[in-house]
Structure 1
Amino acid sequence: MSATKRMVVFGGNGFLGSRICRAAVARNWDVTSVSRSGAPHWSTITSSPNAPLWSQKVSWERGDIFRPAQWTSLLPHADIVVHSLGILLEADYKGVISGRESPISGLKRAFSGSHAGAHSPNPLERVRDRGEPEPGLQPPASPAQLTYEMMNRDSAILLAKEAARAGVKVFGYVSAAAGAPVLPSRYVSTKREAEAVVAREFPEMRGVFFRPPFMYDKSRGVTMGVAAMATAGSMVNGLTGGLLGGFFGAAVTKPLKADVVADAVVEALADESVKGPVEVPQLEELANRAWRKTMV
């Protein structure tokens, strides 16, 4: 790799993705973000509506993950590609906000025992779509059609396929800690499926699969309360020898600040010895290592 690493982050304008971009810029990496909306709406991911100075060093590109022709030209010169896309609930958020859809309907779809997307073909097996210069998935007609299978699994596999084709050496995937009872099991299972396929099908890339717990930041007030409860649960779980973990899973896993996870992600991507799943304790260790480097 070159001295100045070149990284492309898909979902770089999101809560965690933007912080991954920030951490990479701090190392003087060449950073490109790809998302449907381009530059972030800063008020939704930080405590200020104004763009921070570091963001001027990021190339904010527009592109639909399900339309590879819009972004494959960005990959051939990249050293690292990161997938930081996903959905927490299968709901049309704009529809919920405007009153067109009830939040209950989104929850029902998410917690449904069966789902059409669960058996959707792997992107590696898709035939070329007519009208698409490159093989890809059929983009959803509306946000209501976004499923865990599409966003958490299929989009990651599609991106990994194109990254490997372009000769990218490192592929980072933001997965999740296991066992959270407040989310459908498919949320985690689809991420695990993506990890398995990427590791198996693209061994030429160093795949790094980050499994963060609940993430918080003061810019999102609601996350602070949840983090406080999770921290208390984590402490009690430690005192009881892990007894609560068997009942509540990731709900009693120590939460991490989003900036800490971002620092850990970039540190891991820079370290050629880090490969495969990265669990919460290792995320903390990597973040501490990154922090110590700034003190030198």
Structure 2
Amino acid sequence: MAASNSGRYLSTDSNKVDETFKVQEAETVNIPPPPTEKLLVLGGNGFVGSHVCREALDRGLSVASLSRSGRSSIHDSWANNVIWHQGNLLSPGSWEDALTGVTAVISCVGGFGSTSYMYKINGTANINAIRAASDKGVKRFVYISAADFGVANYVLQGYYDGKRAAEAELLIKYPYGGVILRPGFIYGTRSVGSMKLPLGAIGSPLEMVLQHARSLTQLPLVGPLFTPPVNVTAVAKVAVRAASDPVFPPGIIDVYGIQRYNQQKFK
């Protein structure tokens, strides 16, 4: 049996053209692309928030930020890859559109001032965010809180009362997808206008010393003051991992837990 140029097979016996072989085309299957992880950083233009945005971008996440001032004043190239939203968490109904399509939220919102102001910023604002995210079906919520500093809690009562109220709300609304980070003093290069303050010059040596003196934190009254500082890049790395890793355990992570997770490889 011989084949002609047309691709049909010719019979050598009867010289009749056999039926052309029909080649079926492979079926085209429209496979949807993998879901995009979209992260909303609350307070993304601040010291910690800007590091969180940058870490998330490095991890390949789509990143948006919400803050009262909107776009960051940072001129680094990564800032051009963030979707900047302006809104006030204390004004419900004015910012919830920023949650559209979001799969995880990291809140870096906090501040100092009068007792009532600190409670609103650290507590009420974050509680509003937690409730709105839960109502929108956001899967994971990471809240960057603060370590317990004992005596300092009484001096900054509104600050810590607000933090703990937000933590309690998060544990209720996100029992399986909520993570609370409790760092102590966070150090790193902080931008103030055109100036850069190298806080690592103080924080890094203290972290090296105090991370090996954990027993000191058990001293009455003053013990919490020996909580080691932690680098802002470590906080950002663990926060992004907690927001994007579905098997990251929910709950409260203290400064030692932050150090431990920071040392682990995150794929």
Partner of 2:130: 160
CA RMSD in angstroms comes to 2.5
SS in 2 for 1:8: strand
Whether the aligned pair in 1 keeps the contact of 2:102 and 2:138 (CA below 8 Å) is yes
User: Structure 1 residue 283 and structure 2 residue 254: aligned?
Assistant: no
In structure 1, distance between residues paired with 2:138 and 2:102? 6
- Whether the 8 Å contact between 2:119 and 2:161 is mirrored in structure 1 is no
Q: Give 2:92's aligned residue.
A: 68
Q: CA deviation at 1:222?
A: 6.7
Of residues 218, 233, 236 in structure 2, which corresponds to 1:259? Answer: 233
| Higher helix proportion | 1
Contact 1:230 1:254 in 2 (8 A): yes
- Whether the aligned pair in 2 keeps the contact of 1:233 and 1:252 (CA below 8 Å) is no
Checking the alignment, whether the CA contact within 8 Å between 1:268 and 1:286 is kept in structure 2 is no
Partner of 1:208: 179
| Residue 223 to residue 251, structure 1, CA distance change in 2 (3 Å) | farther
Alignment of 1:16-165 (within 5 A): 16-42=48-74, 51-87=75-111, 89-90=112-113, 109-110=114-115, 117=116, 147-165=117-135
Q: 1:180–1:77: structure 2 CA closer, same or farther, 3 Å change rule?
A: same
Deviations 1:79-115 (A, max 9, x none): 002221111x31xxxxxxxxxxxxxxxxxx45xxxxx
Deviation at 1:19, TM superposition (A): 0.7
Structure 2 residue matching 1:163: 3-state secondary structure: helix
* Correspondence 1:189 to 2:161: yes
Distance 1:270 1:245, change over 3 A: farther
Aligned residue identity for 1:70:
S
Distance change (3 Å), C-alpha of 1:245 and 1:222:
farther
Q: Which residue of 2 aligns with 1:246?
A: 220
Q: Name the SS of the counterpart of 1:221 in structure 2.
A: strand
Partners of 1:233 and 1:251 within 8 A in 2: no
CA distance in 2, matches of 1:252, 1:270: 31
Alpha-carbon distance in 2 for matches of 1:225, 1:180:
25
Structure in which a larger fraction of residues adopt strand:
2
**Cα deviation, residue 243, structure 1:** 6.0
Say yes or no: does 1:221 pair with 2:197.
yes
Deviation at 1:236, TM superposition (A): 7.7
Q: Write out per-residue CA displacement over residues 194-227 of structure 1, whole angstroms, 9 at most, x where no aligned residue.
A: 1112222x14761111111101113453734552
Cα 1:8–1:228 shift into 2, 3 Å: closer
Matched, 1:176 2:176: no
Alignment size in residue pairs: 226
Partners of 1:181 and 1:232 lie apart in 2 by: 24
1:268-279 aligned within 5 A? 268-273=242-247, 274-279=249-254
Aligned partners of 2:64 and 2:84 also within 8 Å:
yes
| CA–CA separation in structure 2 for the residues paired with 1:168 and 1:211 | 22
What is the letter of the counterpart of residue 55 of structure 2? Answer: A
SS where residue 210 of structure 1 aligns? strand
TM-score by length of 1: 0.69
